[in-house]
Structure 1
Amino acid sequence: MIIQPTSLAAMTWAGAASGTAAESWRVGAMLSARPLGMGEQGRMVLQIGALTVEADPLGIPLPSQFQVRVLAMGNPPLLEIIAGAGADPLVQRALRERLPQQNGYAPLLATLGALAQRPVVRQLPPEVRAALALLDQGVRTPQDLTRADGLREAIARSGLFLESELAQPRANPLPLGEEDFKGVLLRLAALLDRQPRLPAHVPASGADTPPPLRQRGLQAQPRAPLPLPLAEAPTEDDVGQLLARLRGDVHAALARIEIAQLDAAAAQAWMIEIPLQGAHGRDVLQIHLEHGQDTEAGGHTWTLGFALDLPALGPVQGELQLRDLRLNVRLWAERSATTERLERQFTPLRQRLAASGLQLDQLSCQTGLPQGHGQASALLLKATA
């Protein structure tokens, strides 16, 4: 988060930067902090040490007093809030290690789809082909996700819950690693790491996709082009480049899953991504699932948000809020033509919801994607003079 000093603190900040308060701002130092309220422009006003600074709202309550750790100096210095379970230093360190490594699923899915249609796959080692086949089986179809049991299965096998499932006794004789998306990625990564004559570190290909952190909100992710041509008759060097590309994309996808797992460690909320078989390509469905309490009426609430970028529809987002049997549905579409298409489905949707026993309080669709962030923070602060 970028923090701008208030006008009242400008001289104090200048003094800290010039060295008069440098000792208290050394790397690793712990500073006392407290919230002072909201500024004129809707920003939080915080006192950190001797400085008064403004910050974008975190979206989570802060205690009346807390501490921050100086992670890096310079302009801007980097501060870490030490407050609550979400600021577990081990979790925060693990997050910082994986954030530079992660990337979205789209590049991996593009390679996987191309390999399935080209003879180059026959030149890959047999064990790699078998692992790729398992990975391909983990790509869900739209028919899978339109059934309640299919969606439940896709979420359970998304990779986010692998370790908790491994800790439970299982009646299914099929190894969990052959069902779970993260388990298959781990198996494929181990096989690719053992391939000879591959570079030790291969960066992920494709665009830098924002990490699946709750405070970033939902991110509709388009398909990725395939930058590496998969020739019909590749040379041995071409196969080596392909394996190196695969390894980079697999490790980036694994880092992405682990970021979502770490981010969910201290909250009843999950960011889940499901590979989806679309028309002439693969897409990524992102889901935000959160369980909470209704502070006004009591009882429990469930919120399910989703984001999807389909070539025929463009980016689409939605949010479903369920309180007991009362349901609110809000949709957003970047294209006005997509808004019209969705609104034409409202009547049959209302009928299906009424038949299921739910009371629909709101059903709407707006053109333009929602702005803003989620209700959590990674608790990493950047202060700028």
Structure 2
Amino acid sequence: MSEINFAFPPALTGATSAAGGLTPHTLRVLTSLEGLLNPGQQLQAQVLARLETAQGQQLSLRLTLADGRSVTLDALTARQPELASGTRLQLTALSDNRLLIETPPGAARPLTRLDLPAGSLLQARVLSSTPAGNLQQIVAQLPDGRQLLLESARPLPVGSLLNARVLDDRSLQFIGPDARVQQLDLLQQLAGQFARQSPLSALFTALRALQGQPLPPPLQASVERLLNSQPSAAQLGDPRQLAAILRNAGIGLESHLATGQAGALDNDLKANLLRLLGQLSSFNPTTALQTPAGSLLLATLPTLARQVLGALGQRPERQPGLNFPLPSQRLEGLENPSLQLLLKLAAGAVARVQSHQLASLAQATTSAEGQPATVLQMEIPVRDLPTPVQLRLRGEDEPPGKRNAKQRARQWKIDLAFDMEPLGPLQVQAQLCRNQFSGQLWAERADTAELIGRELGELRRALGEAGLEIGELDCQRGTPPAAPAASLETNWIHVTA
């Protein structure tokens, strides 16, 4: 950063007091400041003690210098306004051993609680960091000028920027620079994969069109393996088979390989897609597939600098790959696919699975309440369904304010999106916690919404027989409303490209 030049504050004129020309907003230090402070230099101070004298108020001050050092010295000031012990001041050094009070008493005191929604992201600049027993007492300033009074187990450099997430009205969670860079890299990769993805249904439609046609044996084996790995709708109703289907949805491929479970990947969706892609590439060597590293070119240096220097990460609604469900698109020419089209669809299907994997990681940082979350997002191609079933599982602990740590239970949120005839597109949002189940269904067709509404009693009965306590259960026509507006982001640096 370039140096910022400014003019020294002029000496204050106007009314004086009996304390030798002291104004209400200046201090006269009783020891020399030469070699300690230069005129124009800014610093923080805290009043440790106050004594009334004939010349005014004699204060014992603890100064926090720009390099983080603390110095204690005595100073005189006018009797008005009164500076009580514990008062925090922002000062600017003047000539003749004088200090200008930039934030005189009467200004707003530092906030000790925040009226912000849990999960909000904010940024503040550290003004002072002083020991207070085993903790550090920190004063930080928000971009709008308000100050926060914080306690931390470790000191923070004066002048540094801190990024934090609001846990509740009295707690913040610091976000380290490394975590921010990792989140940026994750979002960049997600943007690249999402741009290349294509629906799994398009690939399976094209592969079914190839059945009965002469194909090279290795390619034929890859096609048959992928088609045969599709479960039926009946299998989704069996708990054991459903568990196996979820394990084979492709999102755990890398984990299985890392733990030496390569033998369990015969039915893994992503593994079979990669096998098919390899076979197609061998028959079309002139085609160069895009690599995941190419997505990194989407990031520009100003974007990276903005993220690292303090702008908060992209909000979920601005990142298309984080929307649920992932959109479908209609493609032409699937009845008689060419090798070139098959190669494109296979590469797009792999990118589709990877979009789900990256979206799971991006959403698993913390919940809206700041609690650690586990997110599994996947897509399951099902025989006889026009589009795969999209599923998102999110598990998070109950907010800490509700129960103590031993009593807090795991909350599970389930999102489903699927399409079956004659019902048409359906979406489900459900919550499960402590055996209590509630859910909301959306049907795009009016007759389907009416049918489900009439059958909700039967659904409630079946869930009750399964041992669940049923809360709200409803069905509406349309699609779920958009996600709520992102929580407040408070930044020093804000750039809109």
Fold shared per TM-score above 0.5? yes
- CA gap of 1:261–1:211, structure 2 versus 1, over 3 A, is farther
3-state SS in 2 of match to 1:341: helix
Counterpart code for 1:292? E
Secondary structure at 1:365's aligned position in 2?
strand
CA distance in 1, matches of 2:352, 2:181: 18
1:285 and 2:376 matched: no
Letter in 2 for 1:285: V
Kindly tell me: are residues 330 and 192 of structure 1, through their superposed partners in 2, closer, same or farther at Cα, counting changes over 3 Å? Answer: same
Which residue number in structure 2 is paired with residue 114 of structure 1? 209
Change (3 A) 1:167 1:319: same
Match of 2:95 in 1: none
Mapped pair 1:128 → 2:228: no
Give distance in 2, aligned partners of 1:274 and 1:108. 13
Matches within 5 A, 1:205-354: 215-219=322-326, 221=328, 224=330, 226-230=332-336, 242-265=338-361, 267=364, 268-278=374-384, 282-295=386-399, 296-297=402-403, 298-354=408-464
Distance 1:82 1:218, change over 3 A: farther
Aligned to 1:152: 243
Partner of 1:205: none
Distance 1:383-1:250 versus aligned 2 partners, 3 A rule: farther
User: Secondary structure of 2:449's match?
Assistant: helix
Q: Deviations over 1:54-110 (max 9, x none)?
A: xxxxxxxxxx9439xxxxxxxxxxxxx968468434434433432322122121121
Is 2:265–2:271's contact at 8 Å kept on the other side of the alignment?
A: yes
Q: C-alpha separation between the residues in 1 aligned to 2:390 and 2:340?
A: 27
Mapped to 2, the partners of 1:309 and 1:126 lie a distance apart of: 34
- 1:47 Cα deviation after fit: 8.4
Number of the residue aligned with 2:229: 138
Q: 4+ residue runs of structure 1 moved beyond 6 angstroms?
A: 44-49, 210-214, 374-377
Alignment-derived partner of residue 99 in structure 1: 194
User: 1:248 offset after TM fit, Å?
Assistant: 0.8
Q: Bigger CA drift: 257-266 or 149-158?
A: 257-266
Q: Return the letter of the residue paired with 1:303.
A: K
Using structure 1 for the length normalisation, give the TM-score: 0.65
For the 8 Å contact 2:356–2:377, the answer to whether it is kept is yes
SS in 1 for 2:480: coil
Match runs of 1:20-169 below 5 Å: 65-66=162-163, 84=179, 87-116=182-211, 119=212, 121-122=213-214, 124-168=215-259
Task: Give, as a single letter, the amino acid of the residue that structure 1 aligns with 2:392.
Answer: H
Q: Find the counterpart in structure 1 of residue 269 from structure 2.
A: 181
Deviation at 1:356, TM superposition (A): 1.3
Letter in 2 for 1:133: E
Secondary structure class of the residue paired with 2:197 = coil
Instruction: Please identify which structure carries the higher helix content.
Output: 1
Q: Structure 1 residues 361 and 294 mapped into 2: Cα distance closer, same or farther (>3 Å)?
A: same
CA–CA distance in structure 1, aligned partners of residues 339 and 484 of structure 2: 37
1:10 is matched with none
Residues 97/367 of structure 1: CA separation in 2 closer, same or farther (3 Å cut): closer
Question: Which residue is 2:149 aligned to?
Answer: none
Cα distance per residue 1:225-263 (max 9 Å; x no partner): 552442xxxxxxxxxx62211111111111121222223
TM-score normalised by structure 2 residue count: 0.52
Percent of aligned pairs sharing the same letter? 26
For 1:252, the aligned partner's letter is G
Deviation at 1:134, TM superposition (A): 0.7
Q: Kindly tell me: are residues 221 and 382 of structure 1, through their superposed partners in 2, closer, same or farther at Cα, counting changes over 3 Å?
A: farther
Q: 2-side partners of 1:107 and 1:142: how far apart?
A: 19
Q: Secondary structure at the match of 1:160?
A: coil
Q: What is the number of residues matched between the two proteins?
A: 294
**Residue identity matched to 1:346:** L
Matched position secondary structure for 2:387: strand
The equivalent residue for 2:103 is none
* 1:369 alignment partner, SS class: coil
The 3-state SS of whatever aligns with 2:448 is: helix
Number of the residue aligned with 1:57: none
**One-letter amino acid of the structure 2 residue matched with residue 370 of structure 1:** P
**How many Å apart are 1:146 and its aligned residue?**
1.4
Residue 112 of structure 1 and its aligned partner are, at CA, apart by 1.9
Q: Which runs of 5+ in 1 are unaligned?
A: 1-35, 39-43, 54-63, 68-80, 203-209, 231-240
Structure-1 residue corresponding to 2:155? none
The aligned residue for residue 358 of structure 1 is 468
* Letter of the structure 2 residue corresponding to residue 100 of structure 1: A
SS of 1:178's equivalent?
coil
CA distance in 1 between partners of 2:195 and 2:278 (Å): 20
Q: Which moves more between the two structures, 319-328 or 148-157?
A: 148-157
Q: Which aligned pairs between 1:9-20 and structure 2 lie closer than 5 A?
A: none
**Cα distance change, pair 282–126 in 1 and its aligned pair in 2 (3 A):** farther
SS in 2 for 1:227: coil
Distance 1:84 1:128 in 2: 43
Q: 1:201 to 1:328 in 2, by over 3 A?
A: same
Distance 1:221 1:86 in 2: 31
Q: Cα 1:259–1:323, aligned 2, differ >3 Å: closer, same or farther? A: same
User: Equivalent residue of 1:141, what SS?
Assistant: coil
CA distance 1:215–1:188, change in 2 (3 Å): closer
Could you tell me whether the CA contact under 8 Å between 1:274 and 1:286 is conserved in 2? yes
Which segment is superposed worse, 145-154 or 282-291? 145-154
Match of 2:90 in 1: none
- For structure 2, the 5+ residue unaligned runs are 1-113, 126-142, 145-160, 165-175, 291-316, 365-373
Instruction: Tell me if the contact between 2:124 and 2:162 (Cα under 8 Å) persists in the aligned partners.
Output: no
Q: CA deviation at 1:270?
A: 1.8
CA contact (8 A) 2:123 2:163 kept: no
Counterpart residue number, 1:76: none
User: Cα deviation per residue 1:177-205 (whole Å; 9 max; x = unaligned)?
Assistant: 32100010111111111114654359xxx
Is contact 2:322–2:359 with CA below 8 Å preserved after alignment? no
From 272, 276, 288, the equivalent of 1:200 is 288
Deviations 1:126-182 (Å, cap 9, x if unpaired)?
101100111001212110111222222111100001121233465xxx933321000
8 Å contact from structure 1 (residues 214, 375) kept in 2? no
CA contact (8 A) 2:191 2:321 kept: no
> One-letter code of the match for 2:196?
Q
CA RMSD of aligned residues (A): 3.9
